[in-house]
Amino acid sequence: MFAVAPVTAGLQTPEGAPIPLRGVDFDVTIRDIGAQVTVSQHFQNVESQPIEAVYSFPLPEGAAICGFEVRLGERVITGRVEEKETAFVQYDEALKEGQGAYLIDQDRPNIFTISVGNLLPQQSVVIRIRYVQELETHATGGRLVIPTTISPRYVPLEQLQTAPASELMHINPPTVLGPLPYGMRLRVEVVTSSPLVSVESPSHPIRCTLADGRAQVELVGDQVQLDQDFVLNYTVQKPHAPQVRIARDIGSDGFVAMVSFWPEFQVSSRSPQEYIFVLDRSASMTGESIQQAKTALLLCLKSMQPGDQFNIYGFGSTYEKLFPRSQPYTPENLTTATSHVQRLDADLGGTKIYSVLQDALAHAGSLPSSQVIVLTDGQIGNEAQVIELAQRYRGRVRVFPFGIGRGPNEYFIRALARVTDGAAEFIFPGERIEPKVMQQFARMGMPYAEQQVRLDWGGLPVNLVTPRVLPPLFSGQRWTVYGRLDALKPAQIRLEAVIAGQTYTWELPVDPNQLDDTPIVTLLFARSAIRDWEEHPQEWTGSQQRERKAESRARQEALVELGCRYQLLSSQTSFVAIEQRPDGDKTVEIKLRRVPVALTRGWGGTPTVSSAELSTSCYGIDFRFCDDDDIDFRHRTYPAARTTLVSGDSDNTAFTKLIAAQDFEGFWPLSSELMRLLGWDKAKKAKRAIAALKNAGIAKEIAEKIVATLLALDALQQRFGHRQVEWQLLAQKAECWLQQLALTPPGAGSQPADLVTRWRQWYERL
């Protein structure tokens, strides 16, 4: 079910009235551990009769919505969290009494609906919503995403027949292809412990100002449309450090701890893997999204190793697969798969993901380590059903989804990974795909079935830990857990893990005198606890109806208790505010006005150019090129994508070409292009090495492959060491090839035993 209005409807509601939403502002402050965001929605009734404005909008799926204010001129009404049904009753009763009423409700963890009830003629109101969120981070920086519109979602027939009409309306609000009379303004302040290196946006033109170690970011242009996610990437000088942050709890004398480790561990080799690729070929993927997904899939195929097995599914209203069952990764099967992917298009209709995922999960398991890689925009309405399906396979198959496009369904994509111990990546148009794919393959190569993870709180009295199921460990990536403490004292929190038979230990000290005075830690803890109840309900069989009902009641009570105690929105709680009007008119008719949303730019192959913006390319500034006194330079707007001000362009190109040059078997062939990438200064040494190998009786063809591979491995380590997570699997593939040659370097003894190390040392001595 899709609801896309014609372009001419852009200035009116579906009821044929003026749109009451006048604009949306975002004020964001990024701290090391997360972001604090205030969303201001400006409504005005320009009609001659009272109206009820209903606006459905997205927020990040991990947002802890903790504030709701109604501003009527100088007057401020603060909303409160109530149990959902109680909030609805209060809202409806207020309207019957002629009062003003304001309600915000959660339809999905990333879709919310604001109801502005009984807005009087010519009356204006500003709704302010506050939330905090944990940022997506990597070793050298972080990523902020602010969704701005709700893409049309495919709703299966059975859901259409049974779901409440209001729910269907909210997850598929009226949608307009074309400009709307309301736009967005956005301001971001970036404050980090380590000095900033660069800030860039692949989604919008931005203006950056650097002062006192802080970056101020603003959108460029007036009336910027809310038709694609806003994405901001930032880089810092020093890697993120593991830490414990302690804050006071709400509603008790206790405390809340946020524990973040950055585990590093080495896995010398990986066992053969099974990869089942599931490609979304529904109509919403038409255009740039299907091209991105195909590029990512082709790179995935390139990243596998001999001994692996794979299969490729494509789905829409129906689904098809390349092979009846997973096949070995051979040159012949790779050629077949590559040709197959290049011919694919978004031509299979609606997004019926349940049946294809059911088949893929059921057929996974031909090898002990199996993963399903889903490439999709995730635009479905039956998320809960699909997530529950995936959760049944936890411990047997992991799901690693890629979110594709300008407005993917973040909640569904992250939850699909979360409930199977996988991980999600998002690829915005214009972003480099290679690091996303390499990071996913690095995660998939980490031993999973053998992982045993334990967190020791060092004697601290912990009464609640969230997530309830400890997440898996991925080397070089943040691992975060929250705990609610009855009391606080000095302690050592220890993370212990057994990975591939080896035991690792990491420790963090707790200092009771170092308390975080912001609400971020406590609110993120409560949001994580709410997610536990929403995503991990107890599974029951059909014969356990009484127990199932009891669990459902316990789940609802827990969500209400958490939501009310911490004043957070959830699936069972809502924010409500009442405007008392002594002269309220109980007899007047209130007209419903549904606010339409912009169709996601590029959705289904629609045009991607907006008159409100200069370009959809990447805009940014690299602070390493800024002089402290160069104020004008720092205030410039950069209208060209990836200019010299954004560092690493030549390195990015060289890196992409270098990994693309690797052969299926794992070696690098010697070529003039490879030498150009690696530097002609290495040519003389390469010639000497090849001659030495030929003199030792090694065929010229093999000698050239060995030397080129050693050169490539050295370049990856020396030039691209900071991107090891992206290339380490390709390096392992090359090292396996060298091992399988079973050749010894000329003049080398038996030490060290590792053949690859002996080859590296031989080359260094030349």
Q: pLDDT averaged over consecutive 10-residue blocks of the chain (766 residues)?
A: 47 91 97 92 97 98 97 96 97 97 97 97 97 90 95 92 92 92 96 90 93 88 91 89 94 94 81 95 94 91 91 97 96 94 93 96 92 96 96 95 97 97 94 87 80 93 95 91 96 93 93 92 96 71 57 88 96 97 91 96 77 38 37 28 33 73 87 82 85 90 91 87 75 86 77 76 82
Residue 420 carries which DSSP code? T
> Rounded to the nearest 5°, which phi and psi values hold at 66?
-125, 0
Report the alpha-carbon distance of residue 130 to residue 128 in Å, rounded: 7
Q: How far is CA 257 from the centre of its chain?
A: 24
C-alpha angle 686-687-689 in degrees, rounded to nearest 5: 65
- Sign of the CA dihedral with 128 first, then 134, 137, and 139 last: positive
- Sign of the CA dihedral with 540 first, then 111, 133, and 438 last: positive
Q: 687: which 2 tokens? A: 């010639």
Instruction: Report the pLDDT value the prediction gives residue 610, as an integer from 0 to 100.
Output: 46
Q: How far is CA 208 from the centre of its chain?
A: 24
Report the alpha-carbon distance of residue 359 to residue 357 in Å, rounded: 5
Report the alpha-carbon distance of residue 73 to residue 50 in Å, rounded: 18
94 contacts: CB under 8 Å, gap ≥ 6: 100, 101, 117, 118, 578, 579
Report the alpha-carbon distance of residue 457 to residue 334 in Å, rounded: 48
Number of H helices, E strands in the chain: 18, 37
CB 594 within 8 A of CB 173: yes
DSSP string, 123-167: -EEEEEEEEEEEPEEETTEEEEEE-------B--HHHHHHS-HHH
DSSP string, 554-586: HHHHHHHHHHHHHT--BTTEEEEEEE--TT--S
Question: Smallest Cα–Cα separation from 64: which of 89, 100, 34?
Answer: 34
The pLDDT tens digits for 184-243 are: 999 999 999 888 988 999 999 999 998 877 899 999 987 899 999 999 999 998 878 899
Report the alpha-carbon distance of residue 288 to residue 606 in Å, rounded: 10
Report the alpha-carbon distance of residue 208 to residue 645 in Å, rounded: 12
pTM of the model: 0.86
